[in-house]
Amino acid sequence: MPRNLKSKRIVIKIGTNVLTDRNGLLDLGIVKSLVSQIAEVKNKRDLMIITSGAIGAGMQELGVEKPKDVVSKQVCAAVGQGILMSSYHSIFKKHGIKIAQILLTYNDLANEETLKNLKNSLNRLFWLGVIPIINENDPISINEIGPSFGDNDNLSAMIAVKMKADVLVILTNVEGLFTKNPSENGAEFVKEVKKIGRKTELMASGSSGLGIGGMKTKVQAAKAATGKGVSVIIANGRKPNVLAGIVKSQDIGTLFYPKG
């Protein structure tokens, strides 16, 4: 049965494990596929992209292995951010779509004046038909000197709520939420969640790979967004035509219903 999702305004969060290969390097083939899908669903919709991948792009440029300490991750992100945006720009340009880069710190959303400026800028970009690509300003978002989003899952939920999105799509490298780690025997796929309680939270596993957040942070983000009226879907970003299917209300990924 179709889900009949309202999808006029969508936040699309693209995770590290979607955008990078097994070595943690940026996978341009996946970037091209996702951009093509985004171009297909853009018609008369306000789209916002929260993207990971800067660390992987920076690793590739610097010729280093997966960074383990915070400063090395931030340095790789600083080097990779421009490369990632350049890749998005050149690929989106082939589809006749313009993009804008917006780098945020936690305080930008916490401060009433800067939040107002952000909303005005995003709404003007929508009016111009431009897709904003949003990320945390990693080199200066350091937990030791001030609050940070913690991960892009949390950032995507905050943007979805602040911008009154209809739906938040969190793309990862698994089909959605499972009753336990999908690599374990007996793991069952959860098609929909009507209320995120303790049982749902216990299903989520920890972090993995280059990304900061695993399924646990995705469920936390879903809880924050659905609590403010935003539908959330966690789905496999490496699955062909996943975005088109979601917009067409197909049975894809795990749907978290908004709080009524």
- Tell me what pLDDT residue 107 has: 81
Angle, nearest 10°, between helix axes 54-62 and 70-93? 100
Stated pTM of the model: 0.90
- Tell me what pLDDT residue 243 has: 94
Render pLDDT for 76-121 as a digit per residue (tens, 0 to 9): 888 999 999 999 999 999 999 999 999 888 788 888 999 999 999 9
With tokens 């179709």, the residue in question is 2
- The structural domains of the chain, with segments of one domain joined by +, span 9-256
The CATH number of 9-256 is which of 3.40.1010.10, 3.40.1160.10, 3.40.50.10420, 1.10.10.10? 3.40.1160.10
What residue type is 215 in one-letter code? Answer: M
Render pLDDT for 168-212 as a digit per residue (tens, 0 to 9): 999 998 999 998 877 778 888 999 999 998 888 888 764 444 344
Burial of 168 from C-beta contacts in 10 A (0-12 / 13-18 / 19+): buried
